[in-house]
């Protein structure tokens, strides 16, 4: 048996800095959120078929051994998502949009609003 070689971390960054797992488009934070919600590695792969089992194991090993770096990245991503949500709401305020859709559905279905 030859020397043991380290396995490269199967994460790659997009142009905007978001981390993707393996050769997929699945985000690092998506895998971590599934894990933290109680999904096992096999279940994560089942729910995201573009992922490889070995890649998810490697990403989870990285996450569990580099919690400070991972948590900092995840906090940054949550902050960016929050900023985007605020900006989207500012540009497209709800203005009762859901209620309008429900009323339209009720009328189309024969129900009075």
Give the model's pLDDT for residue 113: 46
Does 45 fall in a domain?
yes
Dihedral of CA 64/68/71/72: which sign? negative
Enclosing domain of residue 38: 11-108
CATH number for the domain harbouring residue 36: 1.10.10.10
Residue 53 forms part of a structural domain: yes
Domain annotation covers residue 5: no
In a domain, 113, yes or no: no
What is the reported pTM? 0.74
For residue range 31-87, list pLDDT tens digits in order. 999 999 999 999 999 999 999 999 999 999 999 999 999 999 999 999 999 999 888
Say if 58 falls within a structural domain.
yes
In a domain? residue 6: no
Q: How many domains does the chain have?
A: 1
- Note whether residue 84 is domain-resident: yes
Among the listed residues 17, 26, 21, the one whose alpha carbon sits nearest the alpha carbon of residue 9: 21
Which residue, 23, 17, 20, is CA-closest to 31? 20
């Amino acid at each position: 048996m030859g020397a043991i070689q380290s396995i490269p971390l199967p994460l790659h960054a997009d142009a905007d800095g978001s981390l993707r797992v393996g050769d997929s488009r699945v985000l690092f934070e998506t895998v971590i959120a599934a894990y933290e919600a109680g999904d096992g590695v096999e279940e994560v792969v089942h729910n995201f078929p573009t992922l490889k089992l070995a890649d998810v194991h490697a990403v989870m090993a990285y996450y569990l051994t580099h919690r400070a770096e991972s948590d900092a990245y995840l906090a940054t991503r949550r902050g960016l998502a929050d900023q985007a949500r605020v900006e989207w709401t500012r540009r497209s305020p709800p203005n009762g949009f859901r209620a309008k859709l429900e009323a339209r559905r009720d009328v189309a279905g024969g129900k009075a609003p």
